[in-house]
């Protein structure tokens, strides 16, 4: 398939150590670390990034695959740096206005990113690395089985409560919706990779014009694929209701 493992969050068919861990354990760890890393200081976040890089190499992830997964973070980091420059410039002008010529800060301070922006960027890098390890080592079928088991256990626990048995539906609607959403995340990046390759094959140049054209193509193709999936789910539901 076009794009291969060079797509962001694309499932890696070559089995590694993380592939052998049950999907339910990976999902719980994925949620746990994604939440607690929001409270980590920058030093812990940086250490976590290097630990995950080492973990990815141990699990036979190539450097190219890791860099590919970090592409979304790169654009966000550029945005954060631009906001940091703007914030530093505002503070610099404010200091100049109130310094009365006794103290003039160096212009070089404008180009040093603010600590809070660095921390936000490190958080994003860590969360993307955690997400990449999860999606690249867990297939869509495993994710569905994991979430179905969780929803069934939760519904069973609530159904044991007084007056709740008849109110708890046995349908796994939440799992179905969540699986479609989670499955669409790597699929969006795969679509973008394929569209970008097609653009390059036609000698397209990078720039604003490329973004304007390809984004609308991506949206159009994504809606089309979503419509096909919706029709497939509707047809399957009709079959299960009438022929089973």
**Is the overall model pTM greater than 0.75, yes or no?**
no
Are 168 and 155 spatial neighbours (Cβ–Cβ below 8 Å)? Answer: yes
Q: What are the tokens at 55?
A: 């973990």
CA distances from 230 to 74, 155, 191 (A): 33, 25, 18
Spatial CA neighbour of 148 closest among 117, 124, 109, 179: 179
Q: What is the dihedral of CA 32, 67, 192, 182, to 10 degrees?
A: -10
Q: How confident is the model at residue 104 (pLDDT cuts 50, 70, 90)?
A: low
Higher pLDDT, 193 or 169: 193
Q: What are the tokens at 210?
A: 């490329």
Instruction: For the chain, report the end-to-end CA distance as a whole number of angstroms.
Output: 35
CA distances from 145 to 124, 134, 139, 154, 179 (A): 28, 15, 10, 14, 10
pLDDT at 166 over 70: no
Are 50 and 91 spatial neighbours (Cβ–Cβ below 8 Å)? Answer: no
Higher pLDDT, 6 or 44: 44
pLDDT at 33 over 80: yes
């Amino acid at each position: 398939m076009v794009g291969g493992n060079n797509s962001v969050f694309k499932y890696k068919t070559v089995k590694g150590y993380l592939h052998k861990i049950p999907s339910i354990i990976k999902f719980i760890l994925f949620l746990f670390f994604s939440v607690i890393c929001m409270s980590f200081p920058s030093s812990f976040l940086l250490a976590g990034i290097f630990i995950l890089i080492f973990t990815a190499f141990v699990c036979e992830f190539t450097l190219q695959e890791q860099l590919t997964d970090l592409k979304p973070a790169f654009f966000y980091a550029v945005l954060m740096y631009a906001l940091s420059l703007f914030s530093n410039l505002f503070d610099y002008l404010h200091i100049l206005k109130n310094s009365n010529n006794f103290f003039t800060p160096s212009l070089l301070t404008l180009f040093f990113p603010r600590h809070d922006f660095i921390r936000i960027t490190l958080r994003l890098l860590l969360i993307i690395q955690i997400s990449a390890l999860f999606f690249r080592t867990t297939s869509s079928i495993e994710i569905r089985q994991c979430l179905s088991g969780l929803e069934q256990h939760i519904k069973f626990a609530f159904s044991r409560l007084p007056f709740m048995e008849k109110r708890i539906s046995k349908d796994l609607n939440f799992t179905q919706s969540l699986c479609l959403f989670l499955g669409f995340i790597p699929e969006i990046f795969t679509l973008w990779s394929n569209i970008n390759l097609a653009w390059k094959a036609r000698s397209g140049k990078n720039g604003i014009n490329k973004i304007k054209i390809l984004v609308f193509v991506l949206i159009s193709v994504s809606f089309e694929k979503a419509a096909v999936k919706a029709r497939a789910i509707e047809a399957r539901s009709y079959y299960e209701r009438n022929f089973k």
